Structure 1
Amino acid sequence: MSIPKLRRGDRLVLATHNAGKLKEFQELFAPFGLELISAGELGLPEPEETGTTFAENARTKAHASAKGANMLALSDDSGLCVDALDGRPGVYTADWAGVPRDFNFAMQRVQDELLAKGATTPEQRKGSFNATLCLAHPDGRDMIFVGKCDGTLVWPPRGTIGHGYDPMFQPEGFDITFGEMAAETKHSWAPGQQGLSHRARAFAQFVENQIEG
């Protein structure tokens, strides 16, 4: 079942407690006049993510926030999939950073495991960032949107912009990492364009289907 389209002035819960993710979505939503508030700001608990796919975890988070806030909620489950590591860390991307999150540690783990596989050339260090968005209604309806960005894992990490594994991910067609890339370039989203980042590409689908033109 479909969900009514969003219009300027509508309020939406972003199902996250991650400040970096909230900032990215606020930048993406800026042109549309929607009020975005995070699950963390509302004091909603973080549900346990037990899914084995991005879609399963996105649904878990979106429905928990939609029910907890009794309003529309948008979640994002995203991660880094490294070809030489058989798609890992995948849905466990955040877990590789430990508690509290330390993405310098996580990037070092990716590097160590790549070296253990003998992956030293750019061709051997391919991977992708993947994002799955879920828009959930309090009554249980939901919609899924998927985006992917291919690239190469570089070492040492470069740049301090962005968050997570951005400093070691160089997207295809660029000679800089996400960690060195301005937000407007990383997202590079506009009506009729798919954008660059995995999140921007999933967001482009969301906009096309769910935001009133």
Structure 2
Amino acid sequence: MRVLATTTNPRKAQRLQELLRPLGWQVISLAEVQVSIPEVPHLSPLDSALVRAAAAAKASGIPAIADESVFELQVNGKLEHYSVHFGPWNTALERNLRLLERLRGLPIERRGARFITVVALAQPSGALEVFQGEVAGLILQRVERQGGIGYDPLFFVTEIGKTLADMTPEEREAVSPWRRAVERLVQAQAAFNPRSEPTKPQPEVAKPDPPSPPPVLPMRVLVATSNAGKFKELREGLAPLGWQLFSLLDYPFKMPHEDGSTFEDNAMLKAAFATKQVGIPALADDSGLEVEALQGEPGVYSARYGGKSSDIERNLYLLDRLKHVKGEERRARFVAVLVLAYPDGHLEAYRGEAHGLILEAPRGEGGFGYDPLFYVPEAGKTFAEMSLEEKARYSHRGKALRALLEAHRNGPPPREIVALE
């Protein structure tokens, strides 16, 4: 059977031919026939694909395939196809900036989106069939690097652990919603019009009694760290949940570089990547110090502030940066974000903050990082002067951990669809 692909792109037509090979169909493109397809603006992706396919089939007298691809986001309780909505602008960068402005202030766990392709198959008789492919992901909070087309630099695909712009051609092909939609078309046509004789029905066999339900096992979670101290701290904090925990020492794979612009981005990137590698939920965190007088420095760069290689060097560098800042002007906060990612792409994020002051000289022998400089007025001590129990009570990570424990107190929290305000 011959089928008309409503494209003038020879590479796309060739790829469609390869995907339709199991059906034995021959694909021809608009470059090979004289068919005019009207442009109908202001239609939904589904309607646009249907109208174009139907027009092509009627004009050519053979079945026709048309597709439309969009990004989809829940906005104010409604599904918005924002690759269409956020325009017209002259460049992809302008559209990306417009989208970022639209989502300003939204936490990463509420930035869920889908990249969708609708493929319509129309017959000259007027019969229509629709097939949809999709890939789930998140809209990042800033453009980290250019690449790809359109919204590719902003769309982070959870099942791969990369943005579309960062993917290799092979990775991009693997998650292509267009390919998935076409494959569903092939599956449906093969089932409806099999090319071989159906197998003979087998005699009915008595069904055995259903097995007893398996025992409820504890949830297995990978803590995405190879730091034994951090793993011990989180294992003790998560003990009330009864989870079976593993660390990167149990699953030795290389984590991606932390190049996000926020703590939420970094924790999400690590957790989403880790759960994809091991196939079980993964918990990752990112934390750091934000000093008000330094406009939020060192922030996400706390562990490599000033290019220094040790805690002592970073503390001395921070003190030098604040040498002309006195008293209450040395306000700061520690921030920690925990992200729990599931293999199906679902994310949970928990944030904790600890407010205090940066002292002019270190105090205390415990802790690590900036703990000797961070003074908590409420406790009258620096983090380095506190016992582990005290630090858990006041620390940013302790607060984020308690938020996670509260959410999971009666099992996993419900997955609600949250509309943007």
Interval of TM-score (by shorter of Structure 1 and Structure 2): 0.7 to 0.9
Larger Rg: 2
What is the CA-CA distance between 1:211 and the residue it aligns to? 4.0
Residues 104-158 of structure 1: per-residue CA shift (max 9 Å, x gap): 111111111011xx1132x021100001111101121111111111001113212
- 1:191 alignment counterpart: none
- In 2, Cα distance between equivalents of 1:18 and 1:98: 21
- 1:206 alignment counterpart: 404
- The one-letter code of the counterpart of 1:39 is L
- 2:218 alignment counterpart: 9
What is the CA-CA distance between 1:73 and the residue it aligns to? 0.6
SS at match of 1:95: helix
Contact 1:97 1:103 in 2 (8 A): no
SS at match of 1:167: coil
Residues 66/126 of structure 1: CA separation in 2 closer, same or farther (3 Å cut): same
Residue ranges of structure 1 left out of the alignment (5+ in a row): 2-6, 189-195
Counterpart selection for 1:166 from 363, 367, 371: 371
Residues 35/163 of structure 1: CA separation in 2 closer, same or farther (3 Å cut): farther
- The one-letter code of the counterpart of 1:105 is E
What is the CA-CA distance between 1:38 and the residue it aligns to? 1.6
Deviates more, 1:72-81 or 1:138-147: 138-147
Is 1:32 aligned to residue 223 of structure 2? Answer: no
Q: TM-score, normalised by structure 2?
A: 0.44
Counterpart selection for 1:142 from 347, 351, 361: 347
- The one-letter code of the counterpart of 1:206 is L
Is 1:104 aligned to residue 312 of structure 2? Answer: yes
- 2:299 alignment counterpart: 90
Counterpart selection for 2:271 from 62, 71, 75: 62
Deviates more, 1:202-211 or 1:90-99: 90-99
- In 2, Cα distance between equivalents of 1:144 and 1:208: 13
Residues 62/160 of structure 1: CA separation in 2 closer, same or farther (3 Å cut): same
Counterpart selection for 1:44 from 237, 242, 253: 253
Q: TM-score, normalised by structure 1?
A: 0.85
Residue ranges of structure 2 left out of the alignment (5+ in a row): 1-108, 110-215, 412-421
- In 1, Cα distance between equivalents of 2:306 and 2:249: 20
- In 2, Cα distance between equivalents of 1:34 and 1:170: 34
The structure showing larger relative contact order (alpha-carbon pairs under 8 Å, at least 6 residues apart) is: 1
Residues 173/9 of structure 1: CA separation in 2 closer, same or farther (3 Å cut): same
Is 1:178 aligned to residue 383 of structure 2? Answer: yes
Contact 2:222 2:281 in 1 (8 A): yes
- The one-letter code of the counterpart of 2:321 is E
SS at match of 1:144: strand
- In 2, Cα distance between equivalents of 1:167 and 1:200: 18
